[in-house]
Structure 1
Amino acid sequence: MFTQSGRSPSHPRSRPHAAGITAVASLLPEDVLTSDDLQREVAGRSGLALPARLLTQATGIVSRRVAADGVYASTLAVGAARRALAAADLDPLDIDLLVFASASRDVVEPATAHIVQAELGSRAHALDVTNACNSFVNGIDLARSMILSGRAHRALVVTGETPSRAVRRAPADAAEFRAGFAGYTFGDAAAAVIVEAVERGGILDVDTETHSGHWEVGGIPGGGSRHPRGDAYTYFQGDGHELRGVFEKVGTAVVDRTLHRMRMDWDDFAKVLVHQVTVPYLERFAELTGVPADKLVVTVPELGNVASASIGVQLDRVFDGLAAGERVLFVGLGGGISIMTMVWEKS
């Protein structure tokens, strides 16, 4: 790890008892694309006769932000990272672990974390974490683990999501439109948090449940060894109804376990931050779990599905209004399929 001077500190690393989120920031691209405008574009380029306001009515998403030409996943991540560092009054050289945790990336190799680090001017240990829409929460958990083990002192976890570029704007036919329908929920965004040792509170609990047998339900096939090239594989593929069915089949066991293990109920949380895909998805989650509507931070009608940035954007919107000792439950949902919970108490 490095201090602000860039030199390794002389004192040995200690193993703290708790690690927590001490600063947060988010960044949204300036360009706004409404669902109605997106539908008109798709219909115009494909020649499909689509029902009026189909995308808006089916998803509850009115608009989303889209990154402009020349703006990449790393560009958004760097913007959010600078805001988080400023909020914590830190220099990039005060960070000794940089985790880029996102479903998007600039290139297949090297890790996008290096592109972010080069732009920031940090000298931290830098790496990527990728697990679909759970990437950011996974990145926070990794940072926490490395801090608790004494491997790191202060971490910057960032995500930059540009899933709007995986949306098929000119489907060949109705079948191709249906196959990529879930992609029309996507919007772009970024978020960043500082994770470090805290005297009280912090991240109190983490739980996960993974059902990898459903990995083929939805995703972007291209860019790996199966389909290294070809435009046909660069767009998100997956039926939204099927994806929702899998999540409902998996159920709320991990949420129930967390509440039982922590001996908490919904009244113990100031807010519940849930990954948001569509309005019907969010309403169904509330119905299945019983979480009160006033505990949720609803962003999906305005921003769409911003992949792993979803929980970070929500946290940024409520962070300053939380008092020390108040607790927040994160609930991540990711393709693969994975479900993740994190209980965090503001220090």
Structure 2
Amino acid sequence: MHARIIGTGSYLPEKILTNDDLSKLVDTSDVWITERTGIRERRMAAEGEMTSDLALVASQRAIQAAGVQASDIDLIVVATTTPDVIFPSTACILQQKLGIPGCAAFDVQAVCSGFLYALATADNFIRAGSSKCALIVGAEIFSRILDWTDRTTCVLFGDGAGAAVLRRDALPGVIATELHADGRYTDILKVPGSIAAGAVKGKPYLEMDGPAVFKFAVKALGDAAESILAAQRISKAEVDWMIPHQANLRIIESTAKRLDLPMSKVVVTLPQHGNTSAASIPLALDTAVRDGRVKQGDLLLLEGIGGGFAWGSALVRW
């Protein structure tokens, strides 16, 4: 048996923070941000809005698009770096909000590659016969772990959520997934803070060595894409759409060039919501599905990389 994606959904908070808005907070400009990243605006969660709230709306839209009932879901996997609380998991909180107690529900933490880790997990649950209908979600509120005085990081990230419903099927949907990690690079992208004895220990804000991250990401993503295509004996020309993690337009363009893919075959939503970490791939996927770009039978290449470093790729037949 195989896992097939039968519905997608996404949600972006209402508040928009443009590059011009940011120029009033830190020493930056619309031109500086756009030229270096491709980002024009990002969304900010409202006061009191939690990661599970974003995940709930995205999940409801995915369930509706799939044509199933919430009660049909027998597995929930939420990819997030910004959970509501330390525990219980955001997946369990989402389960309660969906009103479907009883099924397995847990979080995965692989930062920006989290949705790929969730996809691989659900795919293997379904292939093993442990699940028939799974809900996977990438949801983040990165605005709460940013140092708004650091222009090198605060301009990059935004809040949002994306979700997909996978169902057991006789025909291949998720053709293959490949996951990787290398903990030797933990120091170049991290949030080193922790909670101990009722207080925050260490810096609770995102820290990044931008040039090092860029260099590693370009190579790792190119390698991951070529590796999964070779393993499945699929040529680059057969890929209809590349749907990458939306981190930086230059990284996306570099990966597409390595794969000989024109940018017309790449789904880019980065300008509208910035880097939403684990939410960025499902957000882009849902956008392309709903605007009609992704059609039945299309071959999709998904790929992403995040802190850890953790990265991966997936081949999906729509």
Q: Same fold (TM over 0.5)?
A: yes
> Which residue of the other structure, out of 249, 260, 278, is the alignment partner of 2:230?
260
Letter in 2 for 1:235: Y
| Alignment correspondent of 2:183 | 212
Shift of 1:118: 1.0
| Alignment CA distance shift 1:34-1:79 (3 Å) | same
| Alignment correspondent of 1:331 | 303
Shift of 1:246: 2.3
Deviations 1:28-66 (A, max 9, x none): 1111101221131135xxxxxx57843333322111111
Give me the whole-angstrom Cα distance separating, in 1, the residues matched to 2:155 and 2:43: 12
Deviations 1:188-220 (A, max 9, x none): 110111111112131111112322211111121
Letter in 2 for 1:209: H
Aligned-residue identity in percent: 31
> Which residue of the other structure, out of 87, 90, 99, is the alignment partner of 1:109?
87
Give me the whole-angstrom Cα distance separating, in 1, the residues matched to 2:89 and 2:203: 21
Deviations 1:158-187 (A, max 9, x none): 122111222212x3xxxxx36xx2342001
Give me the whole-angstrom Cα distance separating, in 2, the residues matched to 1:261 and 1:305: 29
Give me the whole-angstrom Cα distance separating, in 2, the residues matched to 1:226 and 1:248: 40
SS in structure 2 at match of 1:189? strand
Give me the whole-angstrom Cα distance separating, in 2, the residues matched to 1:246 and 1:228: 34
Give me the whole-angstrom Cα distance separating, in 2, the residues matched to 1:61 and 1:342: 25
| Alignment CA distance shift 1:290-1:227 (3 Å) | farther
| Unaligned runs of at least 5 residues, structure 1 | 1-16, 44-49, 172-176
| Alignment correspondent of 1:12 | none
Give me the whole-angstrom Cα distance separating, in 2, the residues matched to 1:316 and 1:226: 42
* 2:287 aligned with 1:317: yes
Give me the whole-angstrom Cα distance separating, in 2, the residues matched to 1:58 and 1:254: 24
User: How many residues in Structure 1 have an aligned counterpart in Structure 2?
Assistant: 315
| Alignment correspondent of 1:78 | 56
Letter in 2 for 1:208: L
* 2:130 aligned with 1:151: yes
> Which residue of the other structure, out of 80, 94, 104, is the alignment partner of 1:125?
104
| Unaligned runs of at least 5 residues, structure 2 | none
| Alignment correspondent of 1:164 | 143
Q: Is contact 1:201-1:325 (8 Å) kept? A: no
Give me the whole-angstrom Cα distance separating, in 1, the residues matched to 2:209 and 2:191: 13
* 2:277 aligned with 1:307: yes
> Which residue of the other structure, out of 274, 282, 299, is the alignment partner of 2:252?
282
RMSD of the TM alignment (CA)?
A: 2.1
Q: Is contact 1:205-1:344 (8 Å) kept? A: yes
| Alignment correspondent of 2:163 | 192
Deviations 1:4-35 (A, max 9, x none): xxxxxxxxxxxxx2111111111111111012
Q: Is contact 1:167-1:184 (8 Å) kept? A: no
* 2:219 aligned with 1:235: no
Shift of 1:150: 1.4
* 2:20 aligned with 1:20: no
Shift of 1:221: 1.5
| Alignment CA distance shift 1:167-1:313 (3 Å) | same
SS in structure 2 at match of 1:105? coil
Give me the whole-angstrom Cα distance separating, in 1, the residues matched to 2:243 and 2:197: 35
* 2:36 aligned with 1:58: yes
| Alignment CA distance shift 1:113-1:52 (3 Å) | closer
Q: Is contact 2:30-2:40 (8 Å) kept? A: no
Q: Is contact 1:273-1:315 (8 Å) kept? A: yes
